[in-house]
Amino acid sequence: MIGFVRVFLWLSLSTAVYAIPYDIRGRGTAVPPTEDDFYTVPPDVGNSPPGTILKHRIPPAPIAAFGLDPVNLQSSYQILYRTNDNFGNATATVATILIPHNADYTKVLSYQVAQDSSFRNCAPSYALQLASASGGPFGTLVTQAELLLIEAALERGWILIVPDHEGPTAAFLANRQAGQATLDGIRAALSSGAFTSIDKDATVAMWGYSGGSLASGWAAELQPTYAPELKIAGAALGGTVPNITTVLTEINKSLFAGIIPSGMVGLSNQYPYVAEVLDQHILTQYKPLFGLVRNQCLSADVLDFLGRDVLAMFDDPSLPFTDPRLVQIENDNGMGHAIPGIPLYVYKSTGDELSPVDETDALVSKYCAGGTSVEYVRDVLSEHGSLAITGAAKALSWLIDVLDGEKPQVRCSTSTVASSLLDPSALEVIPQFIIDALLNLLQKPVGPIVIG
């Protein structure tokens, strides 16, 4: 019933006021990061502490669903801010700040997308803009699809931060950098009040699925030592990938085989040794194929390597498992190096094809033994891709609670369920989730309706 009232109120009261979406007036064309000076890391970046805003702007083009349909936001901004790479070197990356209508400036969610690409033009700051298709067939489709989950959070009135957590070189799987970029993006957003109006003491949470859970999980692990001043209420991690080496064997010759070359090239963008290995050990006939991932996004990578034996493209297929330096790099970028000091909601398919569920079981056990509060849900009627959607409502419900100041009822819990969709808390938010998604396609003002 509430949903129908919301539809009626929007149709009857809001159409005239928002006939032209506030945030799309007078906007131009999206410019790829490889052609946009805004993304350039300043030579003196090391002179500023991590989280410092170096410059900011309104995005060149409106934020748009699937790159086609402008989203009716109150405002949006891009910020270039100081962060660190995997080795502690000063660098900078971009974050997008999205502000809904009737925003609650005391609640902030940092959403880490699953970019899963080693091409700079797949960065979310570009992919979320109107007419930003790039990077081969279906371009940045995965990132654009995640805008549906971002919009669900915006409908709560929350401010959204979406960092380019792979950094300025698209270093996919350089996960220490990803975690630091996430935390520094939060620092930057909390200091942006002069132009965003975000409360400097806002309550903050994090959310990410698959590749986004790596960035979010690393941020949670690093926060006690890297950004102890940040008061983060909790993080939702879905489709977790604790061990990179295991993923190589799980997805080789599968639907997701294209993530292997993308991840290896991504690591080569941060580690010269990985670049050396690829140059010396990829068989000559496969080098052009591997080269494609440097200029395309996840969907194209998946299509080009669909079902392929990627490991057989090395002169020694066992190299990723036997070369001590490669194995060390893979282990260094896995999860579980530290214990998060914030509450976590972890959701994982028991049939996950990328990363076995028992590895997430072990990660959660380690966190719990270290004192982290974890609500862990193992979902049976799903696989890696589908749980991104079917698990979202329950994750959103959990985030609503933590951003409203509710503390976890128990320190650690594990449950195996048929489907997260059937959870009562998920069922409470699903109808509104669907209604808002449909109305947003009609350019309904994104954000809570306030009467009076």
Active site residues: 210, 352, 384
In angstroms, the CA 95 to CA 187 distance is 11
138 phi-psi bin (left φ>0, alpha ψ -120 to 50, beta other): left
Cβ-based neighbours of 392, under 8 Å, separated by 6 or more: 149, 152, 209, 238, 433
Buried b (16+ CB within 10 A) or exposed e, 129-146: bbebbbbbebbbbbbbeb
Distance of CA 211 to the CA centre of its chain: 7
Buried b (16+ CB within 10 A) or exposed e, 83-92: bbbbeeebbb
Q: Tell me which H or E stretch contains 405.
A: none
Cβ 300 vs Cβ 180: under 8 Å: no
* Length of the chain as a residue count: 452
In angstroms, the CA 46 to CA 43 distance is 8
- Structural tokens at position 350: 């028991």
160 phi-psi bin (left φ>0, alpha ψ -120 to 50, beta other): beta
- Residue closest to 210 by CA, chosen among 182, 236, 239, 235: 239
In angstroms, the CA 96 to CA 58 distance is 9
In angstroms, the CA 433 to CA 446 distance is 12
In angstroms, the CA 437 to CA 268 distance is 38
In angstroms, the CA 370 to CA 367 distance is 5
